Amino acid sequence: MKTLPSREVQTRFGAVLDAAKREPVTVTQYGRPVVVMMSVEEALAGQRALAARRMSDFLRQLERVEAAEQLSDEDIHAMVDALR
């Protein structure tokens, strides 16, 4: 992953944008990473992976609850809200 200071990103935005289409680019301010630029495809893949992990966590919580089939709609909604 390429890392660039924000000043360089401002100066060479077009080139950095092209680079971010190929691989994620970390942008730093005062030497600290603050933003990652990446292609839409990579961002969507990351969002899908996060959603899958959250769903997996949610299903594991259901397995821990005895008689999960007896949960009310309010209980299920509360568990889903807690994952957001």
Report percent pLDDT > 90 for the chain.
Answer: 63
Segment 3-21 shows an average pLDDT of 97
* Strand pairing class (25-29; 2-5): parallel
DSSP secondary structure, 45-61, as one string:
HHHHHHHHHHHHHHHHH
Domain positions in the chain = 2-38, 41-83
Side by side, the strands of the sheet bearing 2-5 are 2-5, 25-29, 32-37
pLDDT at residue number 64 = 66
Q: Which residue has the tokens 């397995």?
A: 63
Residue 67 pLDDT class (50, 70, 90 cuts): low
More confident residue, 78 or 17: 17
For the purposes of burial, counting CB atoms within 10 Å of the CB of 22, is it exposed (0-12), middle (13-18) or buried (19 or more)?
Answer: exposed
2-38 has which fold?
YefM-like fold (3.40.1620)
| pLDDT tens-digit readout, 16-53 | 999 999 999 999 999 999 999 999 999 999 999 999 99
